[in-house]
Structures are given as C-alpha cells and as structure tokens.
Amino acid sequence: MYDWNAYRERIQWFEHDRFGMFIHWGLYAIPAKGEWLRSAERVSNEDYQKYFDMFDPVDYHPREWARIAKDAGMKYAVLTAKHHDGFCLFDSAYTGYKATNTKAGRDLVREYLEAFRAEGLKVGLYYSLLDWHHEDYPHYGDPYHPMRENEAYKGRQHNFDGYLEYMHRQVRELCTNYGKLDLLWFDFSYDDMTGERWRATDLVRMARSLQPHVLIDNRLEVAHQSSRLGDEPKEYAGDFVSPEQLLPPEGMRNRKGEPVLWEACVTMNNNWGYHQNDRLFKPPSMIIRKLAECVSKGGNLLLNVGPDARGRIPGESVRILGEVGKWIKKNGESVYGCGAADIAKPDFGRVTLRKRPGGGKTYYFHITENTVGLLPLPGIPKEAIKSVRLLETGAELPCVNDFRTAHYDNVFVHVSDDPVLPDETDTVVAVEL
Ligand code: GLC
C-alpha cells in the first residue's frame, strides 16, 4: 500500500514554495551548444575528453547563484550533479570522471549545496539515469547514445548490471555525503528503460532510507506512463510529475480525476545547458505570467539557467530574473502557499487561491489584460467578501453598484481610473472571504 501520509507530509514545502531554479551545468558549457551536443553530433568519449581537460570554472561562485535565485523569488534549486554525458560535478569514489580531477579541483556540488543552504534555499540534485561515458551503458542501437550508429560499437559487450551498480552507488554517495537533500531529480526513462530496469524500487527505498524527507521526481518511469497519474502510484512513482517545456493546459489530474502535484521545467531561452548563440530569451513579463499560470493550475515552475564555462549565469538570465524578483517582492503573497482556485479562469487573467486555516480564503485575481471600467469578480459571492485590496499597495478597492452593473450578478471592483494597469505585466487584486 502506498504511504499517503508520508507523501502528504513531504510535499508540503514544495507545494508552498512554487518557484525554483534549475541549473544545467557541466563540460558541455565549453562547446556552448547545449547539453545534448554529444548525442546530436555523435561525439566520442575521446573527442569529448578535451573539455574535461579544459574545464576550469574560475568564476564559479555559487553564493552569487544563490543570491540571484533568492532575489528572483525562487525558493529552491536543482543542480545537475551528473548529466547524460556522465561527467560528475561531485567527488564520487566510483569514477575519475569528476570535477575534482579537472582544473577545478573541487567538489562543485558540495559548494553549491552549502551556498544555497546558506541563503535559505532548499536544495535538490539532478542525476541522469543515462550515462554516455560509462562503458556499461547501452551504446550501439540505443536511441540517444552518441555511438548509437557507430559500427565499431556494434556487438561490443556491456554489462548493464555493472552500470546499475555504479548508478546506485553514486546515488547512495549523494544521499550520504552531502547532508540533507530536499529533492532528487532523476532523468529520464524511455522505451523499456523504465521502472525496474533501473531497479527503481531499490533505488527509491535506499534514497528514502538515507533522506527520509526527500522529494523525488517522476522520471524513473516513462513520463507519460507515470503511475502518479494512474489509480495507484508505484513506490517509485515520484512525488510530482514533470511536464517539460510546456504548461499543462488544465493542470494535471490522475485517472480518478484528483489533482496531481506537478512542476513544469522550462528554459529561459531554448536550451538547458549554456548555448552561446541562443538569445531567444523569454521576457520577464512572460515568465511572471507563466509563474502565475502554474500556481493557478496547482503547479510549480522550475526555471532553468545554464551557467557558462567560467561558471557565470548568463547576464541576460540575471537581468530577467531581477525583473521577476521585483514583481515577486510586491506580489509574492499571491504565489507562495497558493494553489489552483475553485472558480473559473476569468478572461482578464488568472486566479490563485490561498486557503487560510479556519476555513477563510483569499482569491488573488491576476489581471494581465485590463478590463474596461470595472473589474468583474466572477464566482465571488458578494455577501462573503471581507475585503478587496490592491496587493502591491494594500489599498482598499471599492465594490461598485451602479447603472453599469445593474444587469449582472457579478461583483464589480474599481481598480483605477487609469486604463493602464498599475503593473502592466500582472496586477494582483486580493479578495478576502
Ligand atoms: C530532458 C533532457 C535534458 C534536460 C531535462 C530537463 O529530458 O534530456 O537535457 O536535462 O530534460 O527536464
């Protein structure tokens, strides 16, 4: 039987915090074409070795990363301890393919964890199930491996059990040597490489025995087959589902129709790993609105940055995150601790809901497109209203009843005489019942 009590308890912080930073960083920052470069360009271990030899992130100051995340209003972070290329940012006893053996000469995961914790953020680690460097990972014929079509690899033996042993040992190291981890983000399952193929029950039991509170994502299963979305989650189902580069149109529900916790992972430009020519960044207004959208649908936003080879978060990301932070400082109350509202989405924007202990509720109406004259509050019964206020100033907003409103049952609020919203990106009106 699935332990629902333990589940409900461990997801509490996550459901409250809503906004996190994803960090994709590794050797691939040097070729600067995103983290799939090895696969896309069929780069051999030998040809990729030069990046290991060059890696020297002299500007890696994780405390700065942590401050950037914190100022943006992010409450947790997830760093790639190992990505698909197999390079470990941590000091693993089971491989030489790690940051400590590069010019960096340090355990970069440990420094990240210490820095982010010191800034009061929750900490997570991403760990790739795929490994294009390990000799026992399937190569020829695998759909993604850089050597998948290289005839020299055809028929070459590999011992997948040996890889699993390695993978489990590394996860044990991460869960043992680094203090409390708040989140583990495994990536990813495909085809028959799913569930018990990873010895997922053992893996999750081990992780939870060492880190009783840790949250785990759902990618030990093929994402669209997630048993978290079925009738009964498997032990390794993961605590939340992880839609990628997409916000679920209506939030997410399991087969019984119950809401399921989710976290959308989204890039700021179009790459996870640093990409020097990808300047297609989402503007701050879009990110702010998408964050509100996630919360209004009961989900989290894990927003990615791809630091460069020197260890810096790209300037454009920093600038955008700064803008997001300004909005959050004024309107964070409508994000943290809030979730999906039980009323329909209004056509001027979205609604997030805070349920207060004792039964009270506050609805946050996010106006992203101003209305003419008055703001209708669809779904809000007039008698139940205790207050209506502009969130960013706390100013009371009057409910209006006049010739314009006479035909309608809706409550109407006067936000401002100015047709331009106080915050053109997302002006929040807090309605307390
Ligand atoms: C993917 C990609 C990857 C990225 C991840 C983030 O599945 O393989 O490179 O780390 O999703 O969600």
Domains detected in the chain: 4-331 (3.20.20.80), 341-432 (2.60.40.1180)
pLDDT the model gives residue 2: 86
Longest dimension (CA), the chain: 81
pLDDT the model gives residue 254: 95
The region that residue 358 occupies, defined by phi over 0 for left and psi between -120 and 50 for alpha, beta otherwise, is: left
Please tell me the residue having the least CA distance from ligand 1 atom 10. 272
Q: Contact at 8 Å (CB) between 275 and 305?
A: no
Is the dihedral angle over the CA atoms 332, 336, 337, 338 positive or is it negative?
positive
First to last CA, the chain: 38
CB neighbours (10 Å) of residue 354?
A: 19
Please tell me the residue having the least CA distance from ligand 1 atom 5. 187
CB of 144 within 6 A of ligand 1: the answer is: no
CB of 132 within 6 A of ligand 1: the answer is: no
CB of 265 within 6 A of ligand 1: the answer is: yes
Q: Contact at 8 Å (CB) between 277 and 231?
A: no
CB of 278 within 6 A of ligand 1: the answer is: no
pLDDT the model gives residue 88: 98
Number of alpha carbons in the 13 Å side-chain half-sphere of residue 344: 6
d(CA 110, CA 286): 33
Kindly report each contact of residues 98-103 with a partner whose C-beta sits within 8 Å and lies 24 or more positions away, as own/partner: 99/55, 101/52, 102/52, 102/53, 102/55, 102/56, 103/54, 103/55, 103/56
Tokens 């589902």 — which residue? 241
Q: How far is CA 298 from CA 3, 264, 265, 415, in A?
A: 22, 11, 14, 27
Q: Say how many residues make up the chain.
A: 433
CB of 187 within 6 A of ligand 1: the answer is: yes
Alpha-helical runs (H) found in 196-245 = 200-210
d(CA 414, CA 376): 9
CA of 230 to the centre of ligand 1 (A): 23
Alpha-helical runs (H) found in 199-314 = 200-210, 284-296
Nearest Cα to Cα of residue 60 among 116, 97, 112, 121: 112
Number of alpha carbons in the 13 Å side-chain half-sphere of residue 144: 16
Which ligand 1 atom is at minimum distance from the Cα of 304? 6
pLDDT the model gives residue 222: 96
CA of 170 to the centre of ligand 1 (A): 19
Is the dihedral angle over the CA atoms 220, 221, 222, 227 positive or is it negative?
negative
CB of 23 within 6 A of ligand 1: the answer is: no
CA of 31 to the centre of ligand 1 (A): 18
pLDDT beneath 50: ranges in the chain: none
pLDDT the model gives residue 87: 98
CB of 78 within 6 A of ligand 1: the answer is: no
pLDDT the model gives residue 223: 86
d(CA 244, CA 222): 13
CB of 35 within 6 A of ligand 1: the answer is: yes
Is the dihedral angle over the CA atoms 329, 333, 338, 344 positive or is it negative?
negative
pLDDT the model gives residue 89: 98
Q: Contact at 8 Å (CB) between 369 and 349?
A: yes
Please tell me the residue having the least CA distance from ligand 1 atom 4. 272
CB of 244 within 6 A of ligand 1: the answer is: yes
| pLDDT tens, residue by residue, 383-403 | 999 999 999 999 999 999 999
CA of 208 to the centre of ligand 1 (A): 23
CB of 263 within 6 A of ligand 1: the answer is: no
